[in-house]
Structure 1
Amino acid sequence: MDELEFRRRAFADPNDPEVIAFAQQNPEHQKLLDELLLLDDKINLALDIPVPPDLTEKLMTQTKEAPASNVTQGWFGRFNKPFATAASITLAVSLYFLSVGGSNDLQAGEHALAHVYYEVKALERDKEVGLQAVNEKLAMLGGKFESLPGKVTYATFCHFKGQRSLHLIFQSDHGPITVFVVPHSGDIQDKQLGDFNDARFAGVISNEDKANMILVADRNSPVNDYQEDVQQALRWL
């Protein structure tokens, strides 16, 4: 596979195993693929809008009642609003996240919460991501899991306060747990370590050997216990 074919196939399907294997041989290729995978996830999440259960009946009723010359106009006028509203919400959240995502003034805990809310649909995923796939990504940040402290349903690279990081979601008895593995940088100060929360979520930030680790879970969950479980399973290379 040459450079041109890699780019063509990566844009067509960033989850292609051959494309993933080829990208691992070159940091620039891997960077492009990570960006495409993140974009692919965001597009899928933004487009995941449930179809109203009575849509068919409304369409049939509207078609029967409306004059022939107004069928198209009437259908659009009635049904474009939910989709337009969803698109507006997606755009608003995206603009908010982009406005705070690159701000170094935002505390790490606040940024973690904003990131979770921005990709909140990812918490609903249930397809398992295997240990090998998780470790292939984690190895790029200098770590590995000896075993997974729970079922992983989301594993992708992201940008956390401008730093390329790993975004994981585990499933637990108390619901999904988000874990950010953020390589050491000047953005997360020692004073930002420890607990944080809002009305829905609680989190904790710890300083590990080669990265900062941030956990976010339901406010009523034992987030500090989960932190210990992840720390015990994680090994630094």
Structure 2
Amino acid sequence: MDELEFRRRLFADPNDTEVIDHAIDNPEQQSLVDELQDFDAQLKSALQVEVPAGLADRILVQQQEDQASNVIPLAWYRKYDKPFATAASMVLAVGIYFMSATSAPLQAGEHALEHVYYEVNALERSQEVALQVVNEKLAMLGGQFDSLPGKVTYATFCNFKGQKSLHLVFQSEHGPMTVFIVPAQGNEYKHNDSHFNDERFAGMIGNGQKADTILVADIGTPIEDYHNEVSGALRWL
């Protein structure tokens, strides 16, 4: 099994026994196996949050009542003890996120914003991730960065609308910026406009032959300049 086949098979299935056996005597490959297995386990764990009995029925009833009255009341689950309210909040957040990641077509900008908010704590990280580590991950998508316009503080694989992608955060003079590298093959989202924003963040989508590059930053950031830097430093192997 050559390096390219190893990476492709590992990326497709972190629990492929042949791939795992192949990496036993190679520390670098074993590190990639461990990382992707951890990520896979985190996804499974998030989906295994215990749902309180009757939760779905109560949500449907509450939605019907809200629509009838056009009043937004205090969330029903906040009426209960804190542990239960916290668990219910987690169930709803995780459920909404993963449904949006696999459901009907969604604008790429909308999904990018949802993803940033879902992992908003990543923006607060300060420990540097070496460019070499970033490129080891990016190589699994067939790419490489010559440089990035700031210190990378977050680098992990993610599910971007059903597509395994690379999620990066780097620190700039204008604050933390999020970059998604989304392989073009298999994209299930739509992008009618290259620019998008909400009250807090603005973003830009660059379409490439092999991947889309999506940059999200605080409102007021010269996002086109940074996007051009990131796209210009991305090479495909």
- The two structures have a TM-score, normalised by structure 2, of 0.67
Contact 1:112 1:216 in 2 (8 A): yes
Match of 1:135 in 2: 135
Larger radius of gyration: 1
Match of 1:72 in 2: none
Greater displacement, 103-112 / 152-161 = 103-112
How far the C-alpha of 1:35 sits from its partner, in A, is: 4.8
User: Could you list the runs of 5+ residues in structure 2 that have no partner in the other structure?
Assistant: 1-16, 47-79
- Which SS does the other structure have where 1:126 is aligned? coil
Post-superposition CA distance 1:133-159 (Å, at most 9, x none): 000011111111112221111101111
CA 1:41–1:131: 2 relative to 1, 3 Å:
farther
CA 1:86–1:42: 2 relative to 1, 3 Å:
farther
Q: In structure 1, what is the Cα distance between the partners aligned to 2:44 and 2:178?
A: 16
Q: Does 1:22 align with 2:30?
A: yes
Q: In structure 2, what is the Cα distance between the partners aligned to 1:232 and 1:104?
A: 32
CA 1:89–1:139: 2 relative to 1, 3 Å:
same
Match of 1:187 in 2: 188
CA 1:221–1:136: 2 relative to 1, 3 Å:
same
1:39-188 alignment to 2 at 5 Å?
A: 39-40=41-42, 84-185=84-185, 186-188=187-189
Counterpart AA for 2:228: E
- Which SS does the other structure have where 1:147 is aligned? coil
Q: In structure 2, what is the Cα distance between the partners aligned to 1:82 and 1:173?
A: 39
Post-superposition CA distance 1:26-72 (Å, at most 9, x none): xxxx4x8425236559989xxxxxxxxxxxxxxxxxxxxxxxxxxxx
CA RMSD after TM alignment: 3.1
Contact 2:153 2:171 in 1 (8 A): yes
CA 1:95–1:188: 2 relative to 1, 3 Å:
closer
CA 1:81–1:113: 2 relative to 1, 3 Å:
same
How far the C-alpha of 1:124 sits from its partner, in A, is: 0.8
Match of 1:231 in 2: 231
Q: In structure 2, what is the Cα distance between the partners aligned to 1:104 and 1:178?
A: 24
Match of 1:14 in 2: none
How far the C-alpha of 1:107 sits from its partner, in A, is: 1.0
User: Could you list the runs of 5+ residues in structure 1 that have no partner in the other structure?
Assistant: 8-16, 25-29, 45-79
Contact 2:102 2:162 in 1 (8 A): yes
Work out the percentage of aligned pairs sharing the same amino acid.
Answer: 51
Q: In structure 2, what is the Cα distance between the partners aligned to 1:127 and 1:39?
A: 23
Match of 1:13 in 2: none
- Which SS does the other structure have where 2:209 is aligned? coil
Q: In structure 2, what is the Cα distance between the partners aligned to 1:200 and 1:211?
A: 26
Match of 1:62 in 2: none
Match of 2:58 in 1: none
Q: In structure 1, what is the Cα distance between the partners aligned to 2:83 and 2:43?
A: 19
How far the C-alpha of 1:108 sits from its partner, in A, is: 0.8
Counterpart AA for 2:143: G
Q: In structure 2, what is the Cα distance between the partners aligned to 1:42 and 1:116?
A: 20
Contact 1:38 1:156 in 2 (8 A): no
Contact 1:193 1:206 in 2 (8 A): no
The number of aligned residues is 184
